[in-house]
């Protein structure tokens, strides 16, 4: 037992560094994935023939293929094209692409959940379709989409583990490195599991619930 505690203590700095990298990649995926997902949704709703078709293919492909394959395609595809990017950029691209596809579908479903009368209200005010989406539909849809958006963003913490297969430094990569030296897979995978769990709980209680409470308060009807 003392030996095990010693191993965990000695590996603490590496585990902490991996956790910070995991948090960084998850945050970057959120920051870029959400606006990109909303942009894809708007493109589909604007019904621009070529762009809307490309957006639907983009969403369908990313939602229908394993993220592991997507990571390999981006990593080796960029290399084959002669594009040399830092691993932090490649890791962010992998997470952003996948998250944006799911967030786009979440927003699309939320926009379809907005009452049809809201479209009529926008048109009666002389707004164009695009103005109606931006000014009336999107704000209401975003409130409806908060639970789905949060689920996708929580998944980002877990999805960062995929990046270890393309040698991106994060929690799973460092956990594997530690195991290769200590030969204690169960112990360190269990530690990694609790860290991922903790990050998800941290997001849920510190971010999701605050955002949800804010929108509930903002849209509370007054009589």
pLDDT score, position 168: 95
CATH of the domain at 171: 1.10.3720.10
| Structural domain boundaries, residue 148 | 2-218
Three-state secondary structure string covering 152-182: HHHHHHHHHHHHHHHCCCCHHHHHHHHHHHH
- pTM for the whole thing? 0.89
List, for residues 137-149, the tens digit of each pLDDT value.
Answer: 888 888 889 888 9
| Portion of the chain with pLDDT greater than 70, in percent | 94
Better pLDDT: 84 or 5 = 84
> Does 77 fall in a domain?
yes
Residue 22 lies in a domain: yes
Query: Residue 119: its pLDDT value, please?
Result: 87
In a domain, 100, yes or no: yes
5: confidence class by pLDDT, cuts 50, 70, 90: confident
Is there a domain that residue 122 lies in?
Answer: yes
- To the nearest 10°, report the CA torsion of 202, 204, 206, 212: 170
Q: How many structural domains is the chain composed of?
A: 1
Domain assignment present for residue 150? The answer is yes
Asked, for residue 62, whether it belongs to a domain, the answer is yes
Confidence band for 223, pLDDT divided at 50, 70 and 90: very low
d(CA 170, CA 28): 13
Residue 223 lies in a domain: no
- Cα–Cα dist 34/14, whole Å: 30
Pick the most confident of 24-33, 118-127, 148-157: 24-33
């Amino acid at each position: 037992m003392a030996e095990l505690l010693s191993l965990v203590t000695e590996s603490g700095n590496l585990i902490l560094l991996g956790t910070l990298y995991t948090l960084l990649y998850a945050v970057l995926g959120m920051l870029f994935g959400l606006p990109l997902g909303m942009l894809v949704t708007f493109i589909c709703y604007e019904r621009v023939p070529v762009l809307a078709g490309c957006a639907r293919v983009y969403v369908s492909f990313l939602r229908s293929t394993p993220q592991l394959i997507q990571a390999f395609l981006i990593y080796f595809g960029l290399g084959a094209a002669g594009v040399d990017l830092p691993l932090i950029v490649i890791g962010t691209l992998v997470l952003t692409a996948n998250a944006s596809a799911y967030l786009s579908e979440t927003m699309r479903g939320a926009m379809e959940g907005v009452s049809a009368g809201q479209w009529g209200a926008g048109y009666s005010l002389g707004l164009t379709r695009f103005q109606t989406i931006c000014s009336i539909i999107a704000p209401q849809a975003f409130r409806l989409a908060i639970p789905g958006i949060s689920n996708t963003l929580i998944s980002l913490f877990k999805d960062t583990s995929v990046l270890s297969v393309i040698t991106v430094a994060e929690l799973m990569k460092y956990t594997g490195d530690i195991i290769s030296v200590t030969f204690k897979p169960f112990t360190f995978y269990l530690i990694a599991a609790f860290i991922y769990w903790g990050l998800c709980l941290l997001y849920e209680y510190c971010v999701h619930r605050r955002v949800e409470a804010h929108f509930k308060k903002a849209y509370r009807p007054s009589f």
